[in-house]
Structure 1
Amino acid sequence: MSTSGAPGLARRAFAEFLGTGLLVTVVIGSGIMAVRLSPDVGVQLLANSAATAAALPVIIVLVGPVSGAHLNPMVSLVDWLLGRRNRAGITARCVAVYLPAQMIGGIAGAMLANAMFDLPAVSASTHDRSSPTLWLGEIVATAGLIAVVITLPRQGRAHLAPPIIGAYIGAAYWFTSSTSFANPAVTIARGFTDTFAGIAPASIPGFLAAQLIGAALGTAIATALYPARAATAGPEPAAHPRPVAPEVSDARAV
């Protein structure tokens, strides 16, 4: 997996920790600010989605050259799975390091957002999100995200990942019933804040299951459309780091 001059695993793990933490900070912080500025739920969601869609490309650009900016356990797992045959993705060892870094980073981001707005650093959310319609929304949101993440490099357009992924997440806030978490690390972290963006701990397992189904569906769709990387894509700069991600390119994404 490693190539000459590629960042070490510790530095890549830190990038995933930092990027995921920043993402969660934006999601929760903008939600808190939106509620404080407007009593209208539609305006609150608009502010929350706009802030996330704007910040996500910036975060991807910040940490992408170091770790690939997965920021999402599903992206890391799919990258490892698709890259096993040709060794194009991250290794199992990287997965074992990335996933805890993403989870811990997300929780740290939730604590930071709470603290910035003078709330308890940790407070269990009471926002129930357990219903089949919301789970279906998460399947759709995650499938779309993973499909985009896989498809872009296979089209030779990995350089477009930051704005396109940001745009997808911003839109998915509105067209999915779940408001598009699409990210296990973000989902778990949002259980640590009893605010607009929170999710009750009891609702988290259903969302995680839906995300797993969505990731499998998105992978199947993308690989059916694009069985292999585009021949015209040209060589990538290195096996790691890559502009946004390896076989895939996320980020949250959320």
Structure 2
Amino acid sequence: MLVFDLPRRLVAEGLGTALLVATVVGSGIMAETLTKDAALALLGNTLPTGAILVVLITILGPISGAHFNPAVTLIFALKRELSVGTGLVYVLAQIAGGLVGAITAHLMFALPMLDASLKIRTGGAQWFSEGIAAFGLVATILAGIRFQKEAVPWLVGLYIIAAYWFTASTSFANPAVAIARSFTNTFSGIRPHDLPGFITAEVCGAMVGLAVMSWLLRPEHDVRF
């Protein structure tokens, strides 16, 4: 088993989150530029996001675990698979990487480096959707690791593609990505004012996911049929 030191793990987390956000924001800008059809634009935003997750988890997972998400890092810290100190610096790297990703996307499309979003995303349905999105993401990760670890990149990518469409919030499910998206006044943006509700819902959904899956994935004994 390969073991990487903390600086390399932090770079992997920052780089992965940056590329994820650049894909989310950049594909949203491209989609909005190419079509006025909202459904087609969402599809153009969805597929690249799921695809890049498969790539990033595959190539960076062996280095850092490929969290790219403070809610996921929290879950592994609560499972005692990550120390509190390491978890905190993971989160800082993810947030910093997300901001770099937003800047990168803006520069590629000749937009201001950062631009506070005006897109309203608030209300009970949106928050509930984010809780469900984060719950499902954690369930996918934990069950995937338990039963089919090699498939986790694909499982996560496919789950996010699905969750873009079955949740009212289009499944941010990631506090670092939500923060980064508050700095882009484009298709994928979210008002900074709406961040607390989204982040709270994401963290709560992730913790419920951990509680449910910890029970569900713990067999009482080995039963042979």
TM class, shorter-chain normalised? over 0.9
1 CA distance for matches of 2:71 and 2:149? 18
User: Alignment partner for residue 129 of structure 1, among 121, 128, 138?
Assistant: 121
Find the residue that maps to 1:198 and give its secondary structure: coil
User: Alignment partner for residue 142 of structure 2, among 147, 150, 155?
Assistant: 150
TM-score by length of 1: 0.84
1 CA distance for matches of 2:111 and 2:182? 14
Stretches of structure 2 lacking an aligned partner (at least 5 in a row): none
Q: Look up the match of 2:88.
A: 96
User: Alignment partner for residue 185 of structure 1, among 176, 183, 186?
Assistant: 176
2 CA distance for matches of 1:222 and 1:35? 38
Q: Does 1:201 align with 2:188?
A: no
Deviation at 1:36, TM superposition (A): 0.4
Q: Look up the match of 1:138.
A: 130
Find the residue that maps to 1:177 and give its secondary structure: coil
Q: Does 1:169 align with 2:166?
A: no
Contact 2:144–2:155 under 8 Å retained in 1: no
User: Alignment partner for residue 38 of structure 1, among 25, 35, 38?
Assistant: 35
Find the residue that maps to 1:18 and give its secondary structure: helix
User: Alignment partner for residue 216 of structure 1, among 190, 207, 210?
Assistant: 207
User: Alignment partner for residue 14 of structure 2, among 7, 17, 29?
Assistant: 17
Q: Look up the match of 1:81.
A: 78
AA aligned to 2:13 is E
2 CA distance for matches of 1:175 and 1:220? 23
Contact 2:133–2:205 under 8 Å retained in 1: yes
Asked which structure has the greater RCO (Cα within 8 Å, sep 6+), the reply is 1
Identity %: 45
Deviation at 1:93, TM superposition (A): 2.1
Moved more, 114-123 or 219-228: 219-228
Deviation at 1:92, TM superposition (A): 1.6
2 CA distance for matches of 1:65 and 1:217? 26
Deviation at 1:217, TM superposition (A): 1.3
Q: How many residues are treated as equivalent by the alignment?
A: 221
TM-superposition CA deviations, 1:107-158 (whole Å, max 9, x none):
1100100110010010000001011110011011000001111111222x11
Q: Look up the match of 2:97.
A: 105
Contact 2:28–2:41 under 8 Å retained in 1: yes
Deviation at 1:220, TM superposition (A): 1.6
AA aligned to 2:3 is A
1 CA distance for matches of 2:62 and 2:146? 19
TM-superposition CA deviations, 1:37-88 (whole Å, max 9, x none):
00000000011001111111001112111101011011111101112xxxxx
TM-superposition CA deviations, 1:160-212 (whole Å, max 9, x none):
00011000000000000000000000000000100000000001010011111
Could you list the structure 1 runs, at least 4 aligned residues long, displaced by more than 2 angstroms after superposition. none
AA aligned to 1:219 is L
